[in-house]
Structure 1
């Protein structure tokens, strides 16, 4: 069943779960305690979250994405270079997190082999939310490569941030800048390769192959990358 991200009953259940996550993780024990604390009928709770605490962990991540998009909409980005806009979006995504231990426990959960696909979808969803909020209009293979690259950057940033005890996460801020620099260097290298006349036959063939790759449309299969079907 797919639930609206702003479902008040789900929000209430999620809020009730967070105090338990630090002790029990995103586990059945946390889900049962949240249902009891929220005073929600267990049958209703299972309808909202058929996967129990896993659904709550997914909802918590999506809540953070929504808060980031809202903060980005209010931010003045007019004088920023595009790379700085991306870095700012990543920083905002960390800033809106109100429970670092919940993220730590979620990272542990989605690192499990049978949960890895869910974790990858969530990270991809964050990258997609950032690019969409920043006005990305690409509809070709660049739609995928932008999100794939940013997914890798954001994943690395979160892992670094979880271990960062510096004042005002200054170390994480510097880490974000370094990762964005790495991406820009890679993009510069790609441009140099494409402009190299010796490699023109190869790059021309690749360009023709990639020309058929299109971003998913509104009516695309929801199982494709970038299309999210809420599994709660």
Structure 2
């Protein structure tokens, strides 16, 4: 069932590619403006800027997580068809990772060139983004599930998700900086992986419970 839902989500994402385009445009504009404003300081701040840009850009797509399907009744139909809440959440998380977060990570090396980051710094940042991606997706899922019944919760979603992502942002930036000296063996990468594991372990069941609460009594 996860495969069926995932294929549906990917097809819908392909039809509404403007959402992904908006996130990419926001990330590019953010990096460009930071490069202009900070000038010569941007290479040293590069990993943090890319992490912040990717995080904020990903949060722009939270309304595509559950809200649309909740409002159109698609989630209710999935439930009536016997689809478990966990299957829905897993499929939605994979879809969000592939259609929203992955494009942001893939474009980040090119944006890093705008702020004159070194090859090692770019590699470390991309690796840290990949390792931290599960945490970003899991926390985004929790917030989106909590706000699935709201007609417009874009700003509120960012406000609720940002505090959860602060530790991920900190260790992600530190891991990227530590890559130059310690590589993937840096303790920061292990901490980041641990944060992702905890986020997924807590985020999936919490998302299921939040969707069930929004759905109401069966």
TM over 0.5: no
Structure with greater Cα Rg:
1
- TM-score of the aligned structures, taking structure 2 as reference length: 0.44
Question: Looking at both structures, which has the greater relative contact order when contacts are Cα pairs under 8 Å and sequence separation is at least 6?
Answer: 2
| Structure with the bigger percentage of helix | 2
